[in-house]
């Protein structure tokens, strides 16, 4: 097909030209004498994206899932209690990973489309007077349902109860797009990956770790080898990686951090908020509903859109791709066939957002979902036009 594929899955995301050029370099010697001149500032600057100065951010060759594993195995022991809620495919998978590492998972089922069940978390933690629960997990932005949870609210629950469990956050589809403050929010572990808000190819797992969580590694008995924080700690201190880093991705990461800091994190967050609102205006104009129930938890990086009962959301995804070269996200797990997803994270501008809505609108009609032609694009474009900051 001539022209570009329009990539609007909620990860991987579009790679900006600047990052592509930064990665188009010969491979380099990661043991060269001047390598730390490059790596040391990188280790410092990635912390700014996590908004931590007290913690450390480790960069692994892996996807986000490897980050989950690093978080668990470096801090916990088999049999430790873990509190997680299941309200989408990603929260589900992190809980499964904990089970595979022999954790005692207290899994709170919550409706898909809702945020972390704060009250249930509070009750369970309150009842846990023996402090058997060692880690409280929260999927900050549930990519399967387009729901963002309130991390400070979970922190407050722990603080009010003086519960010592580690607060672990899956920030894979949030960090670099949605406000995330590791230090201020008292987050002990924050996991991210390269292919979402960081606008890079898949291949890096990033793990932010507080000093408290670092201490816990000394007593954590889980087996760990490749993902051992100790190797990273020791080598990163002098500007090295313990194993061969994915050098091209690391060069891309340098450029990604530069771009985010040049735009300014508050502006990056505001841009995502505005585009997300434009998408929601479009969805409302179509007469469709989001999977996310509470406007307070609407995600600024992904919208999961519910199709009418007698329709199949997979048809929308298929038609969009086959007919218009537009990649949308399908429904995952419990909401497969019921929702499709528009990813709106990373390197986007107004017209790109509108192009996704235009293609989706056509694919909806092709799938027998009778939305008025131009309605979504009309609502979104007018919102974008009238909320543009004067130059
Ligand atoms: C994409 C994603 C992951 C990680 O998935 P990988 O495919 O391993 O990178 C984890 N959590 C959330 C919320 C995600 O969106």
Per-residue pLDDT of 331-389, as tens digits, reads: 999 999 999 999 999 999 999 999 999 999 999 999 999 999 999 999 999 999 999 88
194 in contact with ligand 1, CB cutoff 6 A: no
Testing ligand 1's pocket by substitution, the residue of 170, 200, 205, 345 carrying the most ligand atoms inside 8 A of its CB is 170
Task: Report whether 302 contacts 277 (CB < 8 A).
Answer: no
**What one-character DSSP code corresponds to residue 296?**
G
Q: Which residue has the tokens 């307070």?
A: 296
Testing ligand 1's pocket by substitution, the residue of 11, 196, 332, 341 carrying the most ligand atoms inside 8 A of its CB is 11
Among 166, 168, 159, 192, which Cα is nearest to 178's? 192
Say how many CA atoms lie within 13 Å of 200 toward its Cβ: 33
If asked whether residues 378 and 229 sit together in one domain, one would say no
Q: Whose CA is nearest to atom 5 of ligand 1?
A: 64
The dihedral of CA 341, 344, 347, 353: what is its sign? positive
**Rounded distance from Cα 177 to ligand 1 centre (Å):** 14
172 in contact with ligand 1, CB cutoff 6 A: yes
Whole-angstrom distance, CA of residue 73 vs CA of residue 209: 13
- The alpha carbon of residue 313 and the mean position of all alpha carbons in its chain are separated, in whole angstroms, by 23
Q: What is the pLDDT of residue 389?
A: 80
If asked whether residues 234 and 254 sit together in one domain, one would say yes
Residue 391 has pLDDT above 70, yes or no: no
201 in contact with ligand 1, CB cutoff 6 A: no
Q: What is the CATH number of the domain that holds 85?
A: 3.40.640.10
Q: Which residue has the tokens 């390269």?
A: 194
Q: Which two tokens stand for residue 256?
A: 């990604």
Q: What is the CATH number of the domain that holds 336?
A: 3.90.1150.10
pLDDT tens-digit readout, 242-274 = 999 999 999 999 999 999 999 999 999 999 999
If asked whether residues 284 and 347 sit together in one domain, one would say yes
Which residues, in sequence order, are bridge partners of residue 61? 204
- The domain boundary residue, chosen from 222, 243, 262: 262
pLDDT tens-digit readout, 7-39 = 999 999 999 999 999 999 999 999 999 999 999
pLDDT tens-digit readout, 222-238 = 999 999 999 999 999 99
- The domain boundary residue, chosen from 211, 245, 262: 262
Testing ligand 1's pocket by substitution, the residue of 9, 138, 172 carrying the most ligand atoms inside 8 A of its CB is 172
148 in contact with ligand 1, CB cutoff 6 A: no
Q: How many domains does the chain have?
A: 2
Task: Identify whether 1 is part of a domain.
Answer: no
Look over the chain and give the mean of its residue pLDDT values, rounded to a whole number: 97
Residues 171-197 have a mean pLDDT of 98
If asked whether residues 166 and 47 sit together in one domain, one would say yes
**Rounded distance from Cα 190 to ligand 1 centre (Å):** 13
221: number of Cβ within 10 Å: 11
Parallel/antiparallel/unpaired status of strands 302-306 and 339-343? antiparallel
Strand residue runs (E) in the chain: 6-8, 56-61, 81-86, 104-109, 133-139, 141-142, 147-148, 166-170, 189-193, 204-209, 289-290, 302-306, 326-328, 339-343
Domain holding 23, by residue range, is: 17-262
Q: What is the pLDDT of residue 191?
A: 98
Q: Which two tokens stand for residue 68?
A: 């989950």
If asked whether residues 151 and 250 sit together in one domain, one would say yes
pTM over 0.75: yes
Q: What is the pLDDT of residue 1?
A: 77
């Amino acid at each position: 097909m001539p022209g570009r594929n329009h990539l609007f899955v909620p990860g991987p995301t579009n790679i900006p030209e600047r990052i592509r050029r930064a990665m188009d370099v010969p491979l380099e010697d990661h043991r060269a004498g001047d390598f730390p001149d490059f790596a040391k500032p990188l280790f410092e600057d990635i912390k700014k994206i996590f908004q931590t100065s007290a913690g450390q951010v480790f960069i692994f060759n892996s996807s986000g899932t490897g980050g989950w594993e690093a978080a668990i195995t470096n801090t916990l022991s088999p049999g430790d209690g873990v509190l997680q809620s299941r309200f989408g495919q990603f929260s589900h998978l992190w809980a499964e990973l904990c089970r595979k590492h022999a954790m005692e998972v207290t899994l709170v089922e919550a409706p898909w489309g809702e945020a972390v069940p704060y009250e249930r978390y509070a009750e369970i933690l309150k009842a846990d007077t023996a402090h058997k629960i060692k880690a409280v997990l929260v999927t900050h932005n549930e990519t399967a349902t387009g729901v963002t949870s309130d991390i400070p609210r979970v922190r407050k629950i722990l603080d009010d109860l003086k519960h010592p469990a580690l607060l672990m956050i899956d920030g894979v589809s949030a960090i670099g797009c949605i406000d995330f403050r590791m230090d201020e929010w008292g987050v002990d572990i924050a996991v991210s990956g390269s292919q979402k808000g960081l606008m890079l190819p898949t291949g890096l797992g990033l793990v932010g770790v507080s000093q408290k969580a670092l201490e816990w590694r000394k007593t954590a008995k889980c087996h760990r080898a490749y993902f051992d924080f100790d190797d990273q700690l020791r080598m990163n201190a002098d500007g090295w990686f313990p194993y061969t880093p994915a050098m091209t991705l690391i060069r891309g990461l340098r450029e990604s951090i530069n771009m985010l800091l040049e735009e300014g994190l508050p502006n990056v967050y505001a841009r995502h908020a505005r585009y997300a609102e434009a998408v929601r205006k479009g969805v409302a104009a179509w007469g469709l509903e989001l999977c996310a129930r509470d406007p307070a938890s609407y995600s600024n990086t992904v919208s999961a859109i519910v199709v009418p009962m007698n329709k199949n959301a997979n048809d929308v995804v298929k038609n969009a791709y086959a007919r218009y070269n537009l990649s949308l996200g399908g429904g995952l797990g419990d909401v497969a066939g019921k929702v499709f997803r528009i990813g709106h994270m990373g390197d986007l501008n107004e017209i790109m957002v509108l192009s996704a809505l235009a293609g989706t609108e056509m694919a909806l009609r092709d799938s027998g979902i009778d939305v008025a032609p131009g309605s979504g694009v009309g609502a979104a474009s007018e919102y974008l036009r009238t909320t543009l900051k004067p130059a």
